[in-house]
Structure 1
Amino acid sequence: MRINNNAMALNTYGNLTRAGESQAKSMEKLSSGLRINKAGDDAAGLAISEKMRGQIRGLGQASRNAQDGISMIQTAEGALSETHSILQRMRELVVQSNNDTNTSADKTSIQEELSQLAGEVDGIAGRTEFNGKKLLEGTVGLKLDAVDNGDLDDDDIAGAGGVFLTGYTVDVSQATAGKTYTFAHSDASATVLSLSDGTTSQAVTLGAAGAYTAGQVLDFDKLGVKITLGSAGSFVELAGDLVNFAINGKTLKTEEDGTIAGKASIQIGANNGQTLDISIGNMTAASLGDTAAPAFALSGVNVTTHTFTENLAVIDQAMTDVSNERSKLGAYQNRLEHTINNLNTSGENLTAAESRIRDVDMAKEMMTMTKNNILQQAAQAMLAQANQAPQGVLQLLR
């Protein structure tokens, strides 16, 4: 028998310590509801769980973004509903004016109301805002109303050696709507596009054989021009990332992101590239009906100077424009509603998966804590017995 070292007591003490540590861990898990409270509990599980949590929060915010997008669309569509009512009244007045029982004074009175109604179309377009952004003035999706015999000059595009592009002239006055024209070049000069016939859509690609920076795209919806700077050839970069285009005296600059595209981009996913671009056309009186055969828009409707046929054609075209825009907005809204449903479902499934990794099984952990509690009590009792064992040595000394 030895008294300097009590092996039984040391062994029992070790078991008591381990039981106490296990019980402390169980209590921590039960009190927090989490299986993983620190990286040491499950390093791999913690990393996966944190990544999932980021996705879950991203999906939640994307759902709120989509709801904001629906609110914006509903705001625009509600305003266009009133514009539709105004156009119906304007059409009614134009039909009324075509009656020979009207005197000149009667037509003047009718025209006064038409002018006021056209002004209210502009008023609705100007006052319809969402979070400070005007929705119906063409700033959410740029529309170029007229491109007629305009010059488009790129004067300041510098090559790698500092050579400026000046001197190319490309005449596309006979261009066919919907076709893409490609012009190859390999030396420094300038491009001037003479664009005519504003009633057609033209797409011109510059430098299929030239080396501009890829991805520099200006896209004008409907009545406009699409200009793409190519990616292969002898020109390497755009000096200062500044390209100015003058169209009928209006200058458009690409030095700020989004200035040309003008579309509202809604983040509808938790990751990069998961966006929906929303464009809303110009719903002002100067833009509505401008594609009709008469050379004037809704703002130019006049029963005293234009024929009944011309006025009616413009108003009918304006109603078609508004109908098309409302249909497009309805399509956007339906898509966003399905997007929200999908985001919510994905969030629920991902939350359930993250819970299986991170959260504790309360019943199982309670069972583990009960076991550790019993082991701890047993170890305490046995430690007391082990501490009494060396007392037997005293009997040998008597």
Structure 2
Amino acid sequence: MQSLCEAYQLGITIRDRLKETDLVTVFEDFDHTIDAIEDGYPAWHPAPLSFRAMVLSFVFMEITGDSYANFTRRLTRQPEVATILGFSRVPDESAFSRAWKNRFDDTAHEYARAAAHFVVKEVHDRDISAPEVRPKAEIVDDTQEDANPVEDKSFSQDEIVQTTRLARDHAYGHFDSGRASNASYEDTQFFELQTFMGMVRCGTAQGATRFQYRRGEEYGPHGDTHLRTVKQFEPDEFINGFNETTDRLLSVIASEASFRRPVTAAIDITAIPYYGDTEEMPMVSGTKDRDSRAFKFATLSIIGQNIPLVLAVEPVRESSEWDENPSNQIHRTVRRLVRRAKEHAVLNARRRQHRIFDIRYSTGSGALSVDSQIGRFDLSGIVRRPKHQFHKILHKA
């Protein structure tokens, strides 16, 4: 996946330069590094031709549609092009054929094609004047959907756009990083990137590249910039923003529909693996696996027909050997979640309805403590379940 990320970065660079100059000049003084793919020839192999020059040549040929023979004739007629690409001499046709078969593995093949095909599609989709670029029809099959080639198929382009628009209208405005007003990117742009990464299920580096593919390099922040900005949000302010957003969403939902009674709610504790150094990381906890570490947080959600609606979220910090955190008492976390959720209209309706809460916490002494605390919220009718199943708690309004 790292190779594809680098390939698309290469494609973005070529596309942006093509807006101002011709294809050959694009590769002049080209400082793009190629680190994600490896030379198939060992170090002792007597291959006088630069691997980097070969990679750029295959990208060039994929962009123009040149055959090995045509490309070799081009280099013979214009030896300066060979120099620009990084060759010390003009290769013959067989050199390219051998390199593609023996020197390039499948990852390198995919790298060259991904970068070049990205450029071809962008040139035609954005009406960039580049006569040497091959027709788009040559790289898009008749049966292939003419869509973003890097989009995850779990969500369509329309779904991503609609979700981002709704989040921009109802959620993003309640969060503030406290950054200067003259910053290069607004907070909204970082939230759009984060939303996109969540919907296409990828990390920051690849997500930022794919986001720039959709919105343009000028609009989308770089992955490192995104990570630095996210760290500037204060945890308490972030939770406050989440609560304000939840109020806003519930208000919008209430204006369109009502919750079917009884309402089913669930409390979950989620662990996200952490692989870094634990020193001075009090927010990282241990897990059941002795050597594993994780960030943990608890949520209280209303379970609907489509997706859970999270009403409250609470970080979970446990006592570990690398911090001074007090021993975690899960019932206190549950109390805070229920108290916060009851502030919302969904759990505060005055109708005399029965509502069901699923507390996803295994039975035992810890669960009994949780049950006793929940009882303070007028929750009764606990039905015991075997370990690792749910408590069913009947709540009378």
Shorter-chain TM-score bucket reads: under 0.3
Higher relative contact order (CA 8 A, sep 6+): 1
TM-score by length of 2: 0.16
